[in-house]
Amino acid sequence: MKTVNDVETLERLYGVPGKSSVLKEVDHLHPAYRPFIEQSPFMVLATSGPGGLDASPRGDPAGFVVIEDARTLLLPDRRGNNRMDSLRNIVADPRVALLFFVPGVNETLRVNGRASIVIEPSMLERFTFEGKAPRSVLRITVETVYFQCSRALVRSRLWDPSRHVTRSEFPSPGSILEALSPDEFDGGEYDRELPGRVKATLY
């Protein structure tokens, strides 16, 4: 199978980037890009470490990622499953990539930078929500920022309700766990208890 193994071949194959593709990249949080972060209730955090790559979804009410200044973002690490995949990676390699989504908007925002894990009590208190403080806050130093054009979301029709999958037609968390570990999980019981468990442990 023929493959591409060098940048020169890639450049011959794809050609020169358009002018707008180059102009849209900046090294700070330009005012034109702030709404993508301020109105985003969902983003993906990508990290890299000795154990490999990780892409983790993060969500909260819009504006949960705080713009501290033109080169700094603050991201509270809310309660999860304690795998700490992203945090383990950041300890070893601070490079991170963020992808911000705004419901109904087909453009997304891409941010690359370096993160540190902050556990200063005053910082944790600042991000208390519904009486619960995060265990840590990621302080991200921004290096590059640019918007991603709409083609991917237009092609996927991500925001089109007519394309949404009916949840009952999709494998449930319990059924997946039972299929993977049939001797350890009762899928039906897991699914019945899950809504209450999520509500009780959201923050």
Tens-digit pLDDT profile for residues 70-127: 999 999 999 988 999 999 999 999 999 999 999 999 999 999 999 999 999 999 999 9
Beta carbons within 8 Å of 112's beta carbon, 6+ residues apart = 95, 96, 97, 98, 142, 143, 144, 145
**What is the rounded average pLDDT for all residues in the chain?**
96
Distance, CA of 178 to CA of 173 (rounded, Å): 9
Model pLDDT, residue 92: 97
Asked if pLDDT for residue 14 goes beyond 90, the answer is yes
Which among 129, 53, 65 has a CA at the least distance from the CA of 101?
Answer: 65
Tens-digit pLDDT profile for residues 148-159: 999 999 999 999
**Band (17; pLDDT cuts 50, 70, 90):** confident
Which among 64, 66, 47, 31 has a CA at the least distance from the CA of 112?
Answer: 47
